[in-house]
Copies of this chain bind each other. A is one copy, B any other.
Amino acid sequence: MLLDCGRSLAKGWRYHRALRDPRTVWFTTSSSSRANSSEVTRDPMTGELTALPDIEPSRLQIRKVTSPRPVPSSSNLVFGHTFTDHMLTIPWSAVRGWDTPQIVPYGPLSLDPSCTVLHYAQTLFEGMKAYRDLNGKVTLFRPDMNMKRMQTSAKRIALPTFNGDALLELIKSLVRLDKHWIPQEPGHSLYIRPTLIGTQKALGVAPPNEALLFVICSPVGPYYPQGFKPVALYGTTEYIRAAPGGTGGYKLGANYAPGVVPQKEAGRKGYVQNLWLHGPEHHLTEVGTMNMFVVFKAENGLVEIVTPPLDGMILPGVTRDSVITLAKEHIFGKHKLQGLPENLVLNERPVTMTEVKAAAAQGTLVELFGTGTAAVISPVDKIGYLGEDIVIPTGPDGMGPISRVIWKELVGRQTGAIPSDWSVVVAEE
């Protein structure tokens, strides 16, 4: 009955064959996971479905591991190689909407070989971190930003959207269950990876009729365990990361695989990552998988922080937004940061290699750094560009004078050591 209603609702999706296919495997097998009349919206006159169920935290089912694994020593962590005991899964279908959320033991997903994510890159993800302070309190950093960006990403590749607050509630439940996996040492955290994939069991470049949202968690150590180490970038003119009308402004899997070979080639040339340039004037856009900032001494005596504007090619990074906000709060006197100059300005504007090169030659280049969830701030000391190396100033600790101050405030707020409304408490202990 439900299937019949759904079928009439979603005419033209051509999914009916997959539904009738006896090989069809649902991600959830719980008998209570079937949507019932109280969970879907029906037209009072016809009884037809008028809206599909959204993610509903109250439907969460938890199946705990029978033998929890030992938590590894914090000193041995390699980014993204170790995962906690549990994961969150929420299946979606064009017929049933968002189905029962489940927290289950971490383990392999069963995916039909025709699943569209495997063929057409129907995937998007987020990167978040949970922190544990010295009192045992567990916090997330600006998780609402990730939930909002997931919607934007989903819309861009026709994956289903959802109530971000509802997903956040479920992520909090997962983090609470596995909170003993969060390393307490300074600079350590639990990296959280929400992922949404198209799981339609049929080939065809179209909006998928099935999808799966899952969240896995990985305890991680500091990006720079021996202190900040500035990186050398290769200003690539052979490859692009993004272009106008493309997907650079969205956190899609499709933006990442194409960057691996350019990164390898930069490595062979003696650089750590790529500086992604755009257009004939070689505008700076991003650094590896991070947003970027450059700081100039301006002619009028001001110190100018510049980051490329969100023109569709730039990922709207949470760390990027946080750096901008901290700088603006200082500039406008809302929250002064000790150590930042009084004469600071911040501009989201295009910046070219010609400008950076000239500033380096004239001694007006203050610093250049990348920002991202994994490394927070990543200072740069060199850019290989058109056959020569542009030297970028860095301090004795590897950082520049602006990023050093901002980093300290940012990490304080991230870990909850500096109280702010950016830090959301998940568990008191």
Contacts and interface: CB of A to CB of B under 8 A. Distances in A.
A316 B69 CA distance: 49
Interface in A265-317: 289
B87 A113 contact: yes
Contacts of A255: 121, 254
A365 B399 CA distance: 61
B254 A245 contact: no
B157 A114 contact: no
B256 A121 contact: yes
A406 interface: no
A260 B114 contact: no
A77 to B, nearest CB: 9
Contacts of A206: 260, 263
A80 B255 CA distance: 26
B218 A257 contact: no
B240 A203 contact: no
Contacts of A197: 118
Interface in A80-97: 80-83, 87
B254 A253 contact: yes
A157 B258 contact: yes
Interface residues of A, number: 70
B195 A80 contact: no
Contacts of A14: 78, 81
Interface in A236-266: 236, 238-240, 243-247, 252-261, 263-264
A14 B82 CA distance: 12
A259 B207 CA distance: 10
B205 A256 contact: yes
Given A111-B109, A205-B259, A121 B118 contact: no
Nearest to A247: B258
A248 to B, nearest CB: 10
Nearest to A105: B23
A247 to B, nearest CB: 5
A30 interface: no
Nearest to A202: B81
A37 interface: no
A107 interface: yes
Nearest to A239: B245
Contacts of A121: 121, 123, 252-257
Nearest to A155: B261
A193 interface: yes
Contact of A158 (B25, B117, B119, B260): B260
Interface in A4-56: 14, 17-18, 21, 23, 25
A216 interface: yes
Contacts of A108: 25, 110-113
Contacts of A198: 257
B195 A120 contact: no
Contacts of A87: 113
Contacts of A202: 78, 80-81
Contact of A257 (B107, B111, B252): B252
Interface of A: 14, 17-18, 21, 23, 25, 78-83, 87, 106-114, 117-123, 125, 155-158, 191, 193, 195, 197-198, 202-207, 214, 216, 218, 236, 238-240, 243-247, 252-261, 263-264, 289
Given A78-B202, A118-B253, A121-B253, 11 more contacts: A21-B81, A25-B108, A109-B112, A155-B261, A156-B258, A158-B260, A158-B264, A240-B246, A246-B258, A253-B257, A254-B255
17 contacts: A17-B81, A25-B108, A79-B204, A80-B203, A83-B114, A87-B113, A106-B113, A114-B218, A118-B253, A121-B123, A121-B253, A121-B256, A122-B257, A205-B256, A207-B260, A254-B257, A254-B258
